[in-house]
């Protein structure tokens, strides 16, 4: 813990004309901060996430982990600092849940090593943290989509990173599982672990984030506190639909964002 991520003048283009990708991305993130990146499909969110992790190389600017440029860090060093949960996980073989979580220990093990008793313990603790210890010996193909996402979360916890990247963690999940998963994200955030996630739902920002960035056509439109950024005006500008934002009291105690539809 105690890590600081700095993104400076980050730039990436898929083609020479610079029509896709992103540019001029600047922000920094510290312990206890949860940044959600909102934006329409194809605005560059996923690419930005991959660049932070150096799965894709930046074409301009820097990404610094504790003031060290990730370009000079070996891959396993990056993986020790940054955990990544991809949008879609499709394993080639039906590994058991425990074996899948153990894979999270990879950055801590040498080329010839395999997980030992200590790694096993860490993996089991991660399963307990996610509340899925009982699935330990199940095959990955025998469990539901929601449970699979929990397994991938347990795997990233076993990696023991000091920053989490979650690329649309609620994608493909049903309504209940989405909320359950966000609840887990919030619990992790409350331990002080800094998190960057992408989402399509302004409500998710109000539920878990204390920072939000709105991305459109490869640039940050706004970045700051959710209350200041998630406004009716901004949402309309980004998504092109009228929305209404309200504070809901009672058991909810947070803002909600609902589309305005005229029948």
Partner 1 sequence: MVNKEKHQAGTNKPPLKRIGRLHGVSTWTALVIVLAVLFIFSFVLGRYPISPGDVLKVLASHIVPAYHFNTGIINTIVIQIRLPRILAAMVVGASLALSGVSFQGLFRNPLVSPDILGVSSGAGFGAALAILLSGNQLAIQVSAFCFALLAVGISYGISKMVKGNPTLSLILAGMAIASLFGAMLSLVKYVADPVNQLPAITYWLMGSLASVGSKGLLYAAIPMLIGMIVLILIRWRFNVLAMGEEEAKALGVDTGRLRVIIVVCCTMITASAVCISGTIGWVGLVIPHIGRALVGPDHKRLLPVCLLIGAIFLLLIDDIARVVASVEIPIGILTAIVGIPFFVFLLKRGGRGWA
Contact positions vs partner 1 (CB under 8 A): 50, 53, 55, 74-80, 82-84, 86, 89-96, 99, 102-104, 106-107, 109, 111-115, 139, 141-142, 144-145, 159, 172
**For residues 95 and 239, which CB has a smaller minimum distance to partner 1 in the complex?**
95
**For residues 46 and 234, which CB has a smaller minimum distance to partner 1 in the complex?**
46
CB of 142 to partner 1, least distance (A): 5
CB of 13 to partner 1, least distance (A): 15
CB of 36 to partner 1, least distance (A): 20
CA distances 194 to 34, 117, 262, Å, are 6, 28, 40
**For residues 163 and 205, which CB has a smaller minimum distance to partner 1 in the complex?**
163
**For residues 153 and 220, which CB has a smaller minimum distance to partner 1 in the complex?**
153
CB of 166 to partner 1, least distance (A): 12
**For residues 78 and 195, which CB has a smaller minimum distance to partner 1 in the complex?**
78
CB of 118 to partner 1, least distance (A): 15
**For residues 115 and 226, which CB has a smaller minimum distance to partner 1 in the complex?**
115
Name, in order, each residue with C-beta under 8 angstroms of 31's C-beta and a sequence gap of 6 or more: 1, 2, 3, 192, 193, 194
- Radius of gyration of the chain, Cα coordinates, nearest whole angstrom: 19
CB of 172 to partner 1, least distance (A): 8
């Amino acid at each position: 813990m105690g890590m600081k991520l700095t993104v400076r003048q980050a730039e990436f283009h898929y083609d020479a004309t610079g029509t896709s990708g992103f540019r001029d991305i600047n922000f920094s993130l510290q312990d206890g901060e949860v940044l959600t990146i909102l934006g329409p499909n194809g605005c560059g969110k996923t690419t930005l996430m991959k660049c932070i992790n150096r799965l894709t190389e930046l074409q301009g600017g820097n990404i610094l982990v504790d003031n060290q440029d990730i370009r000079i860090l070996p891959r396993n060093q990056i993986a020790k600092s940054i955990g990544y949960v991809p949008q879609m996980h499709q394993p080639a073989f039906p590994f058991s849940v425990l074996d899948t979580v153990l894979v999270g220990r990879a950055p801590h093990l040498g080329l010839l090593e395999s997980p030992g008793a200590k790694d096993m313990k860490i993996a089991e603790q991660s399963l307990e943290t996610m509340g899925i210890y009982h699935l330990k010996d199940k095959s990955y193909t025998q469990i539901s989509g929601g449970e699979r996402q929990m397994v991938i979360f347990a795997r990233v916890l076993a990696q023991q990173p000091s920053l989490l990247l979650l690329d649309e963690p609620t994608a493909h999940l049903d309504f209940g599982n989405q909320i359950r998963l966000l609840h887990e994200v919030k619990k992790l955030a409350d331990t002080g672990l800094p998190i960057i996630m992408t989402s399509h739902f302004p409500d998710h920002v109000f539920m878990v984030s204390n920072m939000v960035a709105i991305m459109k056509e490869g640039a940050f439109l706004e970045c700051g506190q959710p209350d200041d950024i998630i406004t009716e005006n901004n949402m309309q500008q980004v998504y092109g639909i009228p929305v209404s934002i309200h504070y809901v009291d009672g058991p909810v105690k947070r803002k909600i964002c609902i589309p305005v539809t005229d029948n």
